[in-house]
Amino acid sequence: MTYSQAVLNGDRLALARLLTQVENNAPDGRIALIELFPHTGRAHLIGVTGAPGTGKSSLVNQLALYYRKVENKRVAIVAVDPSSPFTGGAVLGDRVRMRDLSGDPHVFIRSMATRGSLGGLAQATANMVQVFDAAGFDIIIIETVGAGQSEVDVARLAHTTLVVEAPGLGDDIQAIKAGILEIADILVINKADRPGVENTEKALKSMLDLAHPTERVFRHHGSIMRTVAPTQDSSSRLMWIQPIQKTVSIESKGIVELAESIGRHVSHLRQSGDWAVRERTRLEVELEALIREALLNRFHEDVSQKEYDEALEKVVQRNISPWEAVKMLLNGRSK
């Protein structure tokens, strides 16, 4: 039986092994992705991002418990942690906070390292999410690395993006608000039992007041991805007001309210047509990445290492500029 058949049949070992093949970009993984693609597009993808130590993993644990116990949904979690830039090794520790989910056959947690990727996710994260989607998981939670300002890739992948804040980071809010807070569909103040929670909430609220009302667009490779459906008149379209939810995940406080807020966001996406727009944007980003990879591979097949090194050497010697080198190498292609 092929990987994809076994995964569609609910074989957990096959699922685990296929995820490895996909993560390693191995031939078996690529074949299975092609076979599984028609079965994708059903899951609700929830991205969870925020600074290190804000409690993302504990929150994911609680959300997954909610979806299991209250909504009886099948939940997959992809938890990303950074790889060492020096050795490529990684310690993936998100499972430590997710022990409550152990023993449930309808939960599947997979940790992955960034392997040099910088946007807060690994390169293979989107493909691994596709495998979970095809495997029939209703909810897929994607937890990013502890993120700073520009790790915003998750917003292009997920339908609903939660940005997790915690009291005490409030002084830095001014610094980060232009980056990561912008991508939030829902802002979560976790550890809301801590002192300073009022200040954090106030700062976030004032940020939101300044931000509304604006159209939400993703800037992507120089082009603008509109999140509004093109057929709708922008003045009459439904606007999503980013809510602020307070949680104390280690005490399970605020989780029901957060899940309800996520539910409202899904309804909004469906009603406004944004769901389809986000799907389209996500697939376009994937398509472009694949095209880039394919072109790059073709380039390296066509241009020998020797030609490449010679051109590089000329640039290093300041004989030619990098732009001229590119022109020279591309002109040298046989096809």
Partner 1 sequence: MTDKKTSPEQSRRIRVLVAKPGLDGHDRGAKVVARALRDAGMEVIYTGLRQTPEMIAEAALQEDVDVVGLSILSGAHMALTPRVLELLKANGQTHVKVFIGGIIPDEDLQRLKEMGVAGVFGPGASTEDIIRDVQTAVAG
87 part of the interface to partner 1, by CB under 8 A:
yes
178 part of the interface to partner 1, by CB under 8 A:
no
- Contact with partner 1 (CB under 8 A): which of 6, 8, 19, 43? 19
Q: Which is nearer to partner 1, 77 or 158 (CB)?
A: 77
110 part of the interface to partner 1, by CB under 8 A:
yes
State the nearest-atom distance from the C-beta of 316 to partner 1, in Å: 15
226 part of the interface to partner 1, by CB under 8 A:
no
88 part of the interface to partner 1, by CB under 8 A:
yes
Residue 107, helix vs strand vs coil: strand
Q: How far apart are CA 327 and CA 314, in angstroms?
A: 13
Q: Which of 220, 58, 28, 48 is nearest to 131 (CA)?
A: 28
Q: Which is nearer to partner 1, 91 or 239 (CB)?
A: 91
State the nearest-atom distance from the C-beta of 109 to partner 1, in Å: 6
- How is residue 112 written in tokens? 């992955």
- Helix-helix angle 12-23:27-36, to 10 degrees: 120
326 part of the interface to partner 1, by CB under 8 A:
no
The count of residues interacting with partner 1 (CB under 8 A) is 38
Q: Which of 67, 55, 63, 134 is nearest to 96 (CA)?
A: 55
- Contact with partner 1 (CB under 8 A): which of 17, 73, 268, 314? 17
Q: How far apart are CA 255 and CA 63, in angstroms?
A: 7
CA angle 204, 206, 207 (to 5 degrees): 60
Q: How far apart are CA 2 and CA 35, in angstroms?
A: 10
Residue window 122-141: x/- pattern of binding to partner 1, with contact defined by CB under 8 A? -x------------------
> Cis link prior to 243 (omega < 30° from 0)?
no
Residue type for 290, please? Answer: L
Please state whether beta strands 107-113 and 75-81 pair in parallel, antiparallel, or not at all (unpaired). parallel
State the nearest-atom distance from the C-beta of 84 to partner 1, in Å: 6
- Contact with partner 1 (CB under 8 A): which of 49, 83, 242, 247? 83
State the nearest-atom distance from the C-beta of 292 to partner 1, in Å: 7
Q: How far apart are CA 151 and CA 157, in angstroms?
A: 12
2 part of the interface to partner 1, by CB under 8 A:
no
Q: Which is nearer to partner 1, 115 or 237 (CB)?
A: 115
Q: How far is the first Cα of the chain from the last one, in angstroms, to the nearest whole number?
A: 39
DSSP secondary structure of 1-60 = --HHHHHHTT-HHHHHHHHHHHHTT-HHHHHHHHHHGGG-S-SEEEEEEESTTS-HHHHH
102 part of the interface to partner 1, by CB under 8 A:
yes
315 part of the interface to partner 1, by CB under 8 A:
no
Q: Which is nearer to partner 1, 28 or 279 (CB)?
A: 28
State the nearest-atom distance from the C-beta of 124 to partner 1, in Å: 8
Residue 220, H or E segment: strand 217-220
109 part of the interface to partner 1, by CB under 8 A:
yes
State the nearest-atom distance from the C-beta of 26 to partner 1, in Å: 7
293 part of the interface to partner 1, by CB under 8 A:
yes
24 part of the interface to partner 1, by CB under 8 A:
yes
Q: Which is nearer to partner 1, 205 or 292 (CB)?
A: 292
Residue 14, helix vs strand vs coil: helix
Q: Please report, for residues 18, 64, 282, the alpha-carbon distance to residue 40 in angstroms, rounded to integers and kept in the order given.
A: 15, 21, 13
Q: How far apart are CA 94 and CA 229, in angstroms?
A: 37
Q: How far apart are CA 24 and CA 132, in angstroms?
A: 16
State the nearest-atom distance from the C-beta of 324 to partner 1, in Å: 17
Contact footprint for partner 1 (CB under 8 A)? 12-13, 16-17, 19-20, 24-26, 83-84, 87-93, 95-96, 99, 102-103, 108-111, 113, 115-117, 123, 289, 292-293, 296-297, 300
